[in-house]
Structure 1
Amino acid sequence: MAFKRVTRKDATLEVGTREVTTRGRAGVQRFTYEVTVTDGVQVRKRLVKQVVTRKPVSEVTSVGTKPAEEESGGGCDPNYSGCVPIASDVDCAGGSGNGPEYVEGPVDVIGSDIYGLDANNDGVGCED
């Protein structure tokens, strides 16, 4: 059984962004037939039972409706505590990153660590 494809608007994704948020999965159906054979030749076939053994899961694609932020200086990123700037890239001040924006740490990662500030994945970025 084929799965359906559903598209939903998502205000948390920027305009032009498409993301599969739920992978589709085909369903499984079992058919039972009664077959009548005469002299080795099938003369009749009748569907007796049809059972869905696994329902299909619809594939959901989210489409962004949030206006694109400026490349630099676009406010504070909601994925972090305090004010981590929204930019094309943000690095820890005093680290080896090349910016263009920098942040003094530590900062708590409260969403997705989109700038890779939490190198050891402990929920705190720019620790040292």
Structure 2
Amino acid sequence: MSFVLMCCAGGTILGALAGDPDPVRTGTAADEQPAPAIAATAQPAPGESTADSVGGEPAPAESTGPSDTTLSPTSAPSPVVQKRTVVEKKPVRHGSRTVKDSSMAEGKRVVRTRGVDGVRTLTYQVTVIDGVQTEKELLDSAVTRKPVTEVVAEGTKPASRCDPNYTPCVPIASDVDCAGGSGDGPAYVTGPVKVIGADIYDLDRDNDGYGCD
């Protein structure tokens, strides 16, 4: 059984089933050489690497410049700044004053008013950065307790030159005799004098309480 096919080149190809000779190409189509096969190269999808035409290994990626993975330097933490109010107390030294007292024996000294130190209060503003004091500013200074001046009395009364065993005054000496008598002194007294203590100079010879009478 024979059939006729229309070729795209415009000729006819005659063929036979089993037992028929091979069909013969007629016309210009039989004279044409078959076109060489062209292998299509698949284009890589976006994001995929291309394969090497020989080994099938992916081609190395081209360098596009400095690495984008460079880390930025870590910024230092901000310093901790604190401001505090500090109060300090300092002593204020008391003064001293001396007064003359004629009722006291010359050379004697007595404290009449005891001195007391005062107190000065100082207020500061202190700046502390990261636990370290960097500034100290004085805000106020005031005497919160006044000092008390010490008063010392100094005697001006001349020391007594009279023996306390007699009155009126009998001079103090190694020996005292009645004036106009036979005694040889070195000191003399004109009587009468009253003996109010011990008759150390033996002026009261008759023991009536009076000497040189």
**Bin for the TM-score computed over the shorter chain:** 0.5 to 0.7
TM-score by length of 2: 0.34
TM-fit CA distance, 1:71? 4.5
1:1-128 correspondence runs (5 A): 1-69=92-160, 70-72=162-164, 73=166, 100=197
Structure 1 or 2, whichever has the larger Rg, is 2
CA distance in 1 between partners of 2:105 and 2:112 (Å): 15
CA distance in 1, matches of 2:115, 2:93: 9
Q: How many residues align?
A: 78
Identity of aligned residues (%): 45
Cα offset, 1:100, TM superposition:
3.5
Cα RMSD (Å) of the superposition? 2.1
Q: Which has the higher contact order (CA 8 A, sep 6+)?
A: 1
List gaps (5 residues or longer) in structure 2: 1-91, 169-195, 199-213
Q: Structure 1, unaligned stretches of length 5 or more?
A: 76-98, 102-128
1:7 alignment partner AA: T
After superposing on structure 2, the runs of 4+ consecutive aligned residues of structure 1 that deviate more than 3 Å are none
